[in-house]
Structure 1
Amino acid sequence: MEGQLSASGGFMINMSVIKAFLVSPLKWLRVTVAVIFFIGIAYAFLHHIPAWNVPNMTGGGEGVEDSFSLARWQLVPSVLGTLSGAAVSAVILGVLLLLTLLFGRVYCSFICPLGILQDIVFRIRRWLAPKRFLKFSRPVPWMRYGVLALLAACCVTGLAGLSLNWLDPYSIFGRIMYVLAWPAAIWSNNLLAADSSSADLVQMDYFPAAFPVLLASAGMLGLVAVMSAWKGRLYCNTVCPVGTFLGLLSRISLFRLGFDPASCKKCGKCVKPCKAQCLNLKEYKIDSSRCVACYDCVRSCSEGGIRYRWFTRVRQQIPAQKKKVPPASAPSSSAAVPSIAGSSRRQFLEATAVGLAAAAFSGCRGDAARKLDPTQCVLPPGAGSLERFLDICTGCQMCVANCPTHVLQPSYLQLGLKGFMKPRMDFATKYCLYDCHRCAEVCPTGAIRRMPVTAERDTEGITKDTTRIAVARFYVCRCLVAREDMDCGACTEHCPTKALYTVPYIGRDGQEHRLPRLDPSLCIGCGACEHACPVTAERPEERERRNSCDLCEEKCEFGRRREMPPRALVVRAVNPQQKAVKKFEDKAVDPVGDADFPF
């Protein structure tokens, strides 16, 4: 007999225990893959920080490149990459959809970093309150499909970039990593570097994001953490449109988890660890649209009452259960079906109408972009037009975290409402390196196109070193040479294309100086001149007399306001960006004057 001592003195193991053991490796497979994706994607954001750089994964090594490839396995970036024409993204998207059609929502527990973060929060809550368990709960279809309908309406009306910016789970995780985890990692690195004599640990500068960006990221983290600690995967099954879309596909998946009534004893062990609250033990049903394939229920069942089944076997159980329903209850249940269906249909139409109304009311499709300040709309090379960039970029901050000079910073409202938390060039922080295109290499959505960094001068095609993303404007009235008769060549020394050079200039002191001169046809808008310019913004006491400048012949107009610019050189965005500049080798003027460099 099973479970008793045999004649040889051995113990005969219960066969149901063996079956459960053979199925339980699914959970460990899920945990292993989830740890790889979570640590890998987090490392892609933090590998620049020495204290968080794993010794066998140095910056620029193969480990870093592998972590970037993990970010491309996210659903929304793969969809946007496919729409951008990336063949790799199309293959990844096909694999993700195929896995969903085969095994259900494995993406949510295996690959999605925000989902894995919710599992971590839920596990911590279980450690703190081990006697508190979740129970089966009814779905909330009006919220799930309402959010999905709103996203679809935004995509139709041209507001996909705005909606995905707030709803894409990978982008939410990316902002949590850069805006919140990045400062904490730098603080810990600087703390260790101050007390360490190791040459590998160095102090790092931190460029804080705007307070609204910080507040929005902290709010999203708080919302996800509270919902996870309270109801497990509540966020995934009510708010996340990716989970709702994959849930619809999971309804027709070929293999699904299902109850085995012959083996199930209704002990309730499977219901307690279910973070999706989708196990209806009374009716022997599992809501496949909400099940995230964590396999905690499979591991907790020692009787083999839950297992993967072919979808035809699941369908065969439904008619058998309906035949057991008393005839008296059949009319009432059937009469309730049209009411529920009609209510769901009305709620779906209402949600769609709300989305279309909100999109029409906002009216920020393309006209708003032309009203933005051109000095604040400089995009990374390869972004193309402003409209294209705002539609494809989801603001995941991967390019911002991996920019070597941190000239890329998350925007607040500089790019408009659609550009909230999306990267822009901030030349007050740093400038774009002439031979670097790291932002395009790590972009998972294709919002920043990849281009060769350099090429032979006789070859055709667009390269990064000849792509104009902006153009500088030189204000003589702010230059120290014309204003204070000082010898300065900071801008000409830093210009990589020789667009800035110096010409003889007789100052008011009667001596000869070297005054910078700008050739716009050679400027690529890297911002090196603006960053190097020693002229700072006006002091508060100078604001009253800023409109009475007499150092130049014409009035300096900065943007749309008739006022003094903050520096002698200001970089302004151009649109579209994919335009090659003239070969600067044709005119290589020595920018160094006769006087010594004073800075």
Structure 2
Amino acid sequence: MKTGPSAPRRRFPIRRGSQTVSFVLFLVLLLYVAWPYAERFSARVLADKERVPAELFLVLDPLASLAAAVAGRCVGVFLLWTMAILALSLLVPRVFCSHICPLGTTIDLGDWALGRRLTRLRVRPRGPWVHAKYYVLAAVLVAAAFGVTLAGHVAAIPVATRGFVFILGPAQLAALKHASMVRPVAWNYWLSIALFLCIPALALLGRRFWCRTLCPTGALFSLAGRLRLRERRVKDSCIRCGKCVAACPFDAVRPDDFATRHAECAFCPDCARACPVDAIEFVWRRRGTARETAADSKTSEVLTDGPPLSRRALLGASAAGALAAAGLRAMPRRRLLRPPGSVAEDRFLRLCVRCGLCLKACPGPVLHPAGVEAGLDALWTPVAVPSWAGCHQDCNFCGQVCPTGAIRPLPIEVKRATHMGLAVVNPTTCLPHSGQRDCQLCHDECRAAGYNAIEMREIRLAAAEVPEGVLSPAEAEEAGRILAPFVNRDACVGCGLCEYRCHTVWVKQHRTLAASAIAVVPENEDRPG
């Protein structure tokens, strides 16, 4: 091995090790902890595995938490995690971006697979797009101030979580349970997956292109970096070889004097590993040498290095966020059947960050991602589909993994008594009500679950034309009576087990009905504001 100034010293790759541990933990939380099945199902299936909260990475995303808090006009425990990660970023600026973020690791994998091999599309690092992340951040925060959460569409961890849930979730369910349990894959699935895959594909334009130019979560960390306590410094022993510029994935090293763009520096520290003379150090912020002071005077402000931040563009982005919020709130909305424990619909849409983790933790699965049938702002939010599966009486997993409180973490006893909807019998298609045959599947399912909200009552059927003498008066009387199901509104919690049973037997298996004769509708709900 070469020695001397031309050969950099080898150091343990701390960043790669941290990225690997974080990415593996992210997948373990997603695929193991949030896996809702067990040999013996109980309310403890999730809690017994949750040594670390399944939603850990989501609450660590400061933009998702901040936008939900602003839009929802609330202060939750999840903000404590936001404060903790921002406090850590004062000591190690943008450490989340370089060492923890699973989306960043996915981007690095995309760069390894695509960016290094296909370089023809690469653009110059400091183009007019370099400040786009601040414009996106402004739009998201202004929209949140107007009561609409856009962070779930662009913030790093919600995008990554939803992408992996939509890609790996169906594959895991088909492999470990049965392919018939996989939700129907509609256009909203493909849209989310396409948006997710576009992010690592941006490596074709340059290393960490998303992180450097578009990520609003990274922009928030860059702004927090103005209060940094530690920073990168270049010593006078620098030989100006330029290896640090080539090594930096965040374009945080100025190519003219090798000083630091502090808004971009993520403390990787790839530049220090590449330096052949150990001229780069990460130290406490202080007044440095004359050279450092002169360099810092050029880069002391977060937003002034490189192409100037356009105030007009910033105002335009803010106006776009306000208009988007106004437009989304003005769109007509259709009521959807939400998970048990959901807060009132308007507040639910403000708090939900569309991460999809509740979809992953839901057995059945009962919860599906919404399309735009209830309004564009409901896209990717969880909606219960009882015809696909009923909400199990021993399951409260969706509330346990929700990072923002859009679905409240109800104790199992409270969850069993919480109304998420109301089962309604269609008398024109129900087999007993229409006089076609005896059936009490919905009653038996409800009773087995312990709700006892459906009772069988005797009804009289319309008399049919019967030739005289075929039936005796007693037989005719008996033939005109049948037991039919009736729902007790006060006892029904809207779990949908009855609808699932009716749909499975009479729609899917026997094909007697076109749709379930008993269906849960979003009425009689317990949804506090």
TM exceeding 0.5:
yes
**3-state secondary structure, aligned to 2:88:** helix
1:96 equivalent among 85, 93, 96: 85
Q: Deviation of residue 528 (structure 1)?
A: 1.1
What letter corresponds to residue 488 of structure 2 in structure 1? D
> 1:134·1:272 contact (CA, 8 Å) conserved in 2?
no
- Structure showing greater Rg: 1
Match of 1:344 in 2: 310
Determine if the alignment matches structure 1 residue 452 to structure 2 residue 417.
no
Determine if the alignment matches structure 1 residue 245 to structure 2 residue 220.
yes
Q: 1:532 to 1:243 in 2, by over 3 A?
A: same
**3-state secondary structure, aligned to 2:314:** helix
Q: 1:40 to 1:84 in 2, by over 3 A?
A: farther
Match of 1:551 in 2: none
**In 1, Cα distance between equivalents of 2:292 and 2:4:** 30
2:22 equivalent among 37, 41, 60: 37
2:486 equivalent among 494, 512, 517: 517
**In 2, Cα distance between equivalents of 1:31 and 1:155:** 35
**In 2, Cα distance between equivalents of 1:531 and 1:177:** 28
Taking the TM superposition and a 5 Å limit, the aligned residue runs for 1:431-580 are: 431-454=390-413, 463-495=414-446, 496-507=450-461, 508=463, 510=476, 511=479, 512-534=481-503, 566-574=515-523, 577-578=526-527
What are the ranges of 5 or more consecutive residues in structure 1 without an aligned counterpart?
5-12, 190-200, 326-336, 455-462, 543-563, 580-599
**In 1, Cα distance between equivalents of 2:295 and 2:138:** 33
1:177 equivalent among 148, 160, 164: 164
**In 2, Cα distance between equivalents of 1:216 and 1:314:** 50
Q: 1:133 to 1:448 in 2, by over 3 A?
A: same
Taking the TM superposition and a 5 Å limit, the aligned residue runs for 1:577-596 are: 577-578=526-527
1:368 equivalent among 307, 332, 351: 332
Determine if the alignment matches structure 1 residue 275 to structure 2 residue 260.
no
Q: Deviation of residue 118 (structure 1)?
A: 0.8
Q: 1:378 to 1:133 in 2, by over 3 A?
A: closer
Cα shift readout 1:543-588 (whole Å, capped 9, x = no counterpart): xxxxxxxxxxxxxxxxxxxxx9933212111376237xxxxxxxxx
**In 2, Cα distance between equivalents of 1:135 and 1:400:** 40
Cα shift readout 1:263-310 (whole Å, capped 9, x = no counterpart): 221222222232212211312222121223321212122311221022
Q: 1:393 to 1:474 in 2, by over 3 A?
A: same
> 2:30·2:54 contact (CA, 8 Å) conserved in 1?
no
**In 1, Cα distance between equivalents of 2:214 and 2:191:** 17
> 2:387·2:500 contact (CA, 8 Å) conserved in 1?
yes
What letter corresponds to residue 577 of structure 1 in structure 2? D
Q: Deviation of residue 389 (structure 1)?
A: 1.1
Cα shift readout 1:245-280 (whole Å, capped 9, x = no counterpart): 1111113311111322x2221222222232212211
Q: Compare 312-321 and 31-40 and name the one that shifted more.
A: 312-321
What letter corresponds to residue 161 of structure 2 in structure 1? G
**In 2, Cα distance between equivalents of 1:314 and 1:565:** 77
Cα shift readout 1:208-251 (whole Å, capped 9, x = no counterpart): 35422122123213320221243121112222111111111113
**In 1, Cα distance between equivalents of 2:51 and 2:179:** 23
**In 2, Cα distance between equivalents of 1:145 and 1:388:** 27
**In 1, Cα distance between equivalents of 2:65 and 2:271:** 30
**3-state secondary structure, aligned to 1:485:** coil
**In 2, Cα distance between equivalents of 1:285 and 1:77:** 32
2:152 equivalent among 155, 162, 165: 165
**In 1, Cα distance between equivalents of 2:493 and 2:45:** 28
> 2:341·2:527 contact (CA, 8 Å) conserved in 1?
yes
**In 1, Cα distance between equivalents of 2:296 and 2:260:** 16
**3-state secondary structure, aligned to 2:437:** coil
**3-state secondary structure, aligned to 2:412:** coil
Q: 1:40 to 1:502 in 2, by over 3 A?
A: same
> 2:507·2:516 contact (CA, 8 Å) conserved in 1?
yes
> 1:168·1:394 contact (CA, 8 Å) conserved in 2?
no
Q: 1:65 to 1:380 in 2, by over 3 A?
A: farther
Taking the TM superposition and a 5 Å limit, the aligned residue runs for 1:269-418 are: 269-313=243-287, 317-320=291-294, 344-360=310-326, 362-364=327-329, 368-369=332-333, 372=334, 374=335, 377-418=336-377
What letter corresponds to residue 517 of structure 1 in structure 2? F
Q: Compare 509-518 and 172-181 and name the one that shifted more.
A: 509-518
Q: 1:242 to 1:316 in 2, by over 3 A?
A: farther
**3-state secondary structure, aligned to 2:378:** coil
Q: 1:105 to 1:48 in 2, by over 3 A?
A: closer
What are the ranges of 5 or more consecutive residues in structure 2 without an aligned counterpart?
39-43, 299-303, 465-475
**3-state secondary structure, aligned to 2:281:** strand
Taking the TM superposition and a 5 Å limit, the aligned residue runs for 1:67-216 are: 68=54, 70-71=56-57, 72-79=59-66, 80=68, 84-87=74-77, 89-125=78-114, 128=117, 137=126, 140-160=129-149, 163-186=150-173, 189=175, 203-216=178-191
Question: How many pairs does the alignment contain?
Answer: 490
> 2:341·2:410 contact (CA, 8 Å) conserved in 1?
yes
